[in-house]
Each structure stands twice: as C-alpha cells, then as structure tokens.
Amino acid sequence: ASSIQTMQEIERSLKFKKIPAGSPNQDELSQMTATFNRMMERLEESFQSQQQFVSDASHELNTTLMIIEGYANMLRRWGTRDEDIRKESIESIYEETQRMRTMTQQLLTLASSQQQDSGPYERVELVGCCQQVVAHLKPVHERQISIFTEEKEIWLDANLAKIKQLLVILLDNALKYSSEEIEIWLSTDEKDVHLRVKDYGIGIPESEIKRVFERFYRVDSSRHRKTGGTGLGLPIAKAITDAHQGTIRMESAEGEGTDVIVTLPQKQQERLSLQ
C-alpha cells in the first residue's frame, strides 16, 4: 500500500519521491521498486537540468538585451549630436543582435536534437565531407587546415547535414582559440570511424575539460564576448554524436593545444521505432 501511496503523492504534488524498499524476498516487487526509483532519479536529474538550462538561457539573452537597451538609450540622448557615440552604438547594437540570432538558432538546434534521433541516415563519405567543410572555412579565416588520413574514402551511416555541422563547430572552436595550423586526423577500425580535430592554441585546464560539454559553460567567461562564443557549440556537437550512437571527448594541455576526439559507428543499427 505504501508504494501506491507514494505514487499517488507524486501524481498529486508533482514532486519526485522514491518508494520505500520492501523486504528483500518480494522479488518481482522489489525489482519494480528499484526500477521505479531509478526512473524517479533520472526524471529529477533531467528536470533540474532543464530548469538550469532555462535559467541560463534567460540570463544570456537578458545580458544581450541589456547591452542593446543601454546603447539604444545613448543613441536617443546623444546620438544626434555626437557622431562617435552614434557609430559606437549602432556597431554594438548590430553585434549584439548578431550574437542573439546565433544563440537563438543554437537553442533551437539543441531543442530539436533532444527531441528526436538524427535520422534519416545516408551513406556519408567522411574524407570528402571534411574537404568540403575545410574549403568553405579556409577563405573566411585564411588559416591552414590540414587533413591527415591513410584512407582514400571512409564511409559511415550518418546524417550528412549534422556531420557537417559537427565539423564546423569543432573547427570554429579550434580557429577561435589558436593562431597556428589546425589538423584533422581521420582513421577507421573494424566497426568505428575516428575523427580528431587538433589545434596548437591556448589549451584548457584539466579541471575544466569535463565541463566544456555543458550548455553555456565557458572556460573563461570574460573572454567569450571577444571571441563571440555562446557556450552552446560543444553541447550541440555532443548532441550530434549522441544521436549517432557515438562519443566525443577532449584532451588538452594548457599552452600547448587541444584535441577533440569523436568516435562514430560505421553502421547504424536499425533501431526499433517507438511509434
């Protein structure tokens, strides 16, 4: 009866509670209780993370709006008389709205990548895909980006648009935090494909490496406005690799550079549809 009471309380108050564990000999019931409690834990974690996300997103957008409002006020008061103030205000308002547009698009990307898997899959050739992305980025940044691989072609089941987006995010990060050449290393084994993006930039302290995949986390928040970062790039990269049943991790040494290593399965198992 206490199990049912707890469930009814959860339903009524929408608060996460656990069922008290019964005596160990009620096998099926104790398994159900353990499963239910694990589910409650996961729901609570997910709920708290969503709340944190909403509060972080509001804070980020609010900061941008406050800056825009400040400059708009300056324009109203002195814009007609002072040419320098007018230029600075218009430039800053434009920059902040661009930031906000980027952030809003990224928030939408994150929201949609959490609601669905990455299908439909197609056969994607990774070496050519990397060459294409590099060809797009090189003229913009005028920096050396080299691709190293022993394979002529590397095929995998993937969503091509998402893989390109993943590459752009990783290269964009490397370009922001380094001024040397950037390297892409591609390799494959019996079942997986390995993609490594290597830069020789400022690196990341070891204590912070785990947190870079958290939404809005930035290693140095004072620096992100200068580099234009939103703290959403790597979380989107992680959402893309998760959706492809892959993994992403980072290795870094301060002052020496950073490697981001992505592993993706060559073949996607046809997963059972839940519909």
Instruction: Note whether 67 and 188 are same-domain residues.
Output: no
Q: What pTM was computed for the model?
A: 0.68
Tokens of 107: 């928030």
Q: How confident is the model at residue 219 (pLDDT cuts 50, 70, 90)?
A: low
Q: Single out the residue in 100, 115, 130 at which a domain terminates.
A: 115
Residue 195's domain comprises 122-265
Tell me what pLDDT residue 229 has: 67
**SS3 (DSSP) at 244:** coil
Instruction: Note whether 250 and 145 are same-domain residues.
Output: yes
Give the span between the Cα atoms of 106 and 98, in whole angstroms.
12
pLDDT at 275 over 50: no
Distances (CA, A) of 176 to 13, 111, 187, 193: 47, 25, 25, 26
Structurally, the chain folds into a number of domains equal to 2
Of 68-82, 166-180, 188-202, which has the strongest mean pLDDT? 188-202
Percent of residues, the chain, with pLDDT higher than 90: 30
Inter-residue contact 184 to 147 (CB < 8 Å): yes
Instruction: Note whether 128 and 258 are same-domain residues.
Output: yes
> Between these two residues, 243 and 229, which has the higher pLDDT value?
243
Inter-residue contact 213 to 152 (CB < 8 Å): no
Instruction: Note whether 148 and 172 are same-domain residues.
Output: yes
Instruction: Note whether 83 and 142 are same-domain residues.
Output: no
Over residues 27-45, mean pLDDT: 83
Question: Of 164, 177, 166, which is closest to residue 238 (Cα–Cα)?
Answer: 166
Question: Of 2, 83, 78, 70, which is closest to residue 36 (Cα–Cα)?
Answer: 2
pLDDT tens digits for range 148-163: 999 999 999 999 988 9
Residue matched to tokens 């752009």 = 168
Q: Distance between alpha carbon 159 and the CA centroid of its chain, in Å?
A: 17
Over residues 6-28, mean pLDDT: 75
Flag whether 17 is in a domain. yes
Phi/psi for 202 (5° steps) reads -75, -20
Q: Which amino acid is at 7?
A: M
Mean pLDDT over each residue of the chain, to the nearest integer: 83
DSSP secondary structure code for residue 223 in this structure: T
Tell me what pLDDT residue 273 has: 36
Could you count the other beta carbons within 10 Å of the beta carbon of residue 129?
20
> Between these two residues, 48 and 243, which has the higher pLDDT value?
243
Tokens of 185: 């290393």
Instruction: Note whether 245 and 133 are same-domain residues.
Output: yes
Q: How confident is the model at residue 117 (pLDDT cuts 50, 70, 90)?
A: low
Containing H/E element for 157? strand 155-158
Q: Single out the residue in 91, 115, 139 at which a domain terminates.
A: 115
Contacts of 127 (CB under 8 A, 6+ apart): 147, 149, 151, 152, 153, 154, 186
Phi/psi for 121 (5° steps) reads -85, 150
Tell me what pLDDT residue 260 has: 97
Instruction: Note whether 25 and 72 are same-domain residues.
Output: yes
Instruction: Note whether 231 and 182 are same-domain residues.
Output: yes
Residue matched to tokens 């902040």 = 96
Q: How confident is the model at residue 80 (pLDDT cuts 50, 70, 90)?
A: confident
User: How many residues are listed for the chain in this entry?
Assistant: 275
Extract long-range pairs of 107-110: CB within 8 Å, 24+ residues apart. Answer: 107/57, 107/232, 109/165, 109/236, 109/239, 110/215, 110/232, 110/235, 110/236, 110/239
Any idea what the CATH number is for the domain that residue 206 is in?
3.30.565.10
pLDDT at 269 over 60: yes
Q: How confident is the model at residue 138 (pLDDT cuts 50, 70, 90)?
A: confident
